[in-house]
Structure 1
Amino acid sequence: MGKKGVLLVNLGTPDSAATPDVRKYLNEFLMDGRVIDINPVSRALLVRGIIVPFRAPKSAKLYREIWSDETGSPLLYYSILQQKLLQEKLGDEYMVELAMRYQTPSIEAALDRLKNALVSEIKVIALFPQYASASTGSVYEKVMRLVGQWQTIPNISFVNSFHDNPLMIEAFADNAKKHQPENYDHILFSFHGLPQRQLIKCDHTHNHCLKTADCCQTLTDVNKFCYSAQSYDTARLIAGKMGLSPDQYTVCFQSRLGSDPWVQPYTSQVIAKLAEEGKKKLLVFCPAFVADCLETVYEVSVEYHEEFKEKGGEHVQLVESLNDNPKFIEALVGMVKN
């Protein structure tokens, strides 16, 4: 009956750390209507007229800080490694392809390779543990739009989220053990941020999201697809695996863009507050990412580390992302087969 197809999709990365390539990447990324979910004309004016012209040179400088002459972008390097390791685990019965939502390798090219290989079905896994319209939703919309043009459409299934996957939780906890977490004053679970309006749009009841201060603390039928609620659940599970009490860790959100209110508390504000309280050493997880990237390697390890020291702290230590952790590869195997 032919091989079974698997499509892994991560966010994306510039083709190089040069400003033109970063500009091209930011344009494609920020022009996605699920990422900046405003009127298309306003979005074009904002992105092409204000954000990208000013942000591209600055972002290119940051990308150069993490870029390797041998391996290029860490996000692409580890994503390719995850594809290779998953293919080895699944064997010849499967064909595993990798794509990026923005830039290369493209989703269209990866899907074409699966189609030309005559796969009998396709399992699509967006490599974002917590569901968000701007990430997972955008990937699946793109896949459905492309496959919808095919004359014959095979069985296609999607993994909505894997925020509570036991093997993923174990992998993050294992990575933290390398840093002896008992020697740190506090632990942060810093997730990528989203505008609050995107959370509100996911509340189909219109009477739950952000109505109370603790609306995301517990997963329910109402907020089961909420990015923030899934993030809190991921943090709770990792903390439980590590034996942490609630007062030993804080959930926060990074990478805010623009002046609109985003999911709170903001990581930078939490770090400043902890420094003022006399905390000296922080251990930071970034469980929204399955591969190290600009937001982990630079934003946390460099920018937040410097901010913490300026406020009187001593050290911010990043817990490495899942990268090539064998337990995460086993988690992917389970998602494919189940």
Structure 2
Amino acid sequence: MNIQTSPTTHTTTKKSIGKTGVLIVNLGTPDSPNTPDVRKYLREFLMDGRVIDISYTSRWMLINLIIAPFRAPKSAKVYKELWTEAGSPLKTYGVAVEEMLQKALGNEYVVKLAMRYQSPSIENSLAELQQLGLSKITVIPFFPQYASASTGSVYEEVMRVLSQWQVMPELRFVNRFLDHPKFIEGFVQAGKKYLAERDYDHILFSYHGLPERQILKGDYTGKQCKLGSCCDTANRHNQFCYRAQCFETTRLLVKELGLEEGTYTTAFQSRLGKTPWIKPYTDDIIKELAGRGIKSVLAFSPSFVADCLETTIEIGDEYKELFEEQGGEHWQLVESLNDSKIWVETLVDLVKQEA
């Protein structure tokens, strides 16, 4: 017997069930480079228990009695060096990408930018999306490699906000994208521009650091992580290990750049406090390279998709100065993906890959 569909049967289409929201989230930036705004930003950022993972009381005393009062004025001076007429580069690029991605995705999507800390906040951006009757929300943290202190913190804040909604749309997170071909190609294109201009003695891949204890906490086996050779390959046991993901990112970039073994190094920057952070440290590697007679270095920062304090100032200026003090002659930072066409194409792929 043939069963025929009734003419009154309804078919569900994308148009009939609403649009898809896309929340793109970067770390955040002070509202201005003035000390009160920088202090406010530092307090919110560093009071996150996933960023400084110690007891609440100890964290509160450390941040509010030591770091915020004494570090904010110094950080404000550095932010003033970074600031442009348009404002913070990280936020400026974020706004530009928001507009470009909206145009690329079309009317079936609604793109909103948010910052994990400060403005526009995740809560406010989600509130705007809530009013649209969306059928689905895709959240893309702007962190190529997963870490509890970055991607994990975005997850937690998004879920905190959504837990207060009576009606929740379908929700999807992009966990990481370090191995997306266009993400890799974006940095390769930027790097090849400098490699075409001159020969470099060494290539440095500098990633943001994390305390070793946070890496060890993430080892679900309790015995896999050794903070060493276990990061030499990517496997199911270390797929969420931030250090292993950084080394994997380097391997992918090295392959596409055609670099020979011994001509590049992976290192970690921005450590804070006296507790051990993941190694090797970028500043130690810089001294070592200069001591070996290396005179020119091309530096990548593939844990950041937008230029910010850690790229423009720390790597571009402070590490350049350190390298030259040690006898180096030429230091060049490769810019982040920022608002490049290939970065927007990467995001389009990430949005649509499971559509």
- Please tell me the TM-score bracket, short chain as reference: over 0.9
The number of equivalent residue pairs is: 336
The AA in structure 1 aligned to 2:82 is I
Q: Distance in 2 between matches of 1:87 and 1:294?
A: 27
The AA in structure 2 aligned to 1:196 is E
Aligned residue among 139, 142, 147 for 2:162? 147
Unaligned runs of 5+ in 1: none
Q: Distance in 1 between matches of 2:73 and 2:250?
A: 34
Partner of 2:199: 183
Query: 3-state SS of the aligned residue for 2:61?
Result: helix
- From the CA coordinates, give the structure whose radius of gyration is larger: 2
TM-score, normalization: structure 2?
0.93
Identity %: 57
Partner of 1:63: 79
Partner of 1:46: 62
Q: CA deviation digits over 1:129-186, x for unaligned, max 9?
A: 0000000000010000110110000000001100111100000000011112661110
Root-mean-square deviation (CA), in Å?
0.9
Q: CA deviation digits over 1:233-274, x for unaligned, max 9?
A: 111101110101221110000000000000100000000000
The AA in structure 2 aligned to 1:206 is G
Partner of 1:330: 345
The AA in structure 2 aligned to 1:32 is D
Aligned residue among 72, 75, 79 for 2:90? 75
Partner of 2:25: 9
Q: Distance in 1 between matches of 2:152 and 2:265?
A: 27
Q: Distance in 1 between matches of 2:171 and 2:91?
A: 25
The AA in structure 2 aligned to 1:147 is L
Aligned residue among 143, 159, 176 for 1:161? 176
The AA in structure 2 aligned to 1:270 is I
Q: CA deviation digits over 1:262-307, x for unaligned, max 9?
A: 0100000000000010111110000000000000000011100000
Q: 1:105-116 to 2 correspondence within 5 Å?
A: 105-116=120-131
Q: Distance in 1 between matches of 2:285 and 2:245?
A: 20
TM-score, normalization: structure 1?
0.98
Q: Are 1:305 and 2:320 an aligned pair?
A: yes
Partner of 2:262: 247
Segment drifting more, 130-139 vs 238-247: 238-247
The alpha carbon displacement at 1:327 in A equals 1.4
Partner of 2:274: 259
The alpha carbon displacement at 1:315 in A equals 2.0
Q: CA deviation digits over 1:53-112, x for unaligned, max 9?
A: 11101100000001012x100000111111111111000110000000000000001101
Query: 3-state SS of the aligned residue for 2:104?
Result: helix
Partner of 1:120: 135
Query: 3-state SS of the aligned residue for 2:230?
Result: coil
Q: Distance in 1 between matches of 2:63 and 2:225?
A: 28
Partner of 1:236: 251
Partner of 2:11: none
Query: 3-state SS of the aligned residue for 2:229?
Result: coil
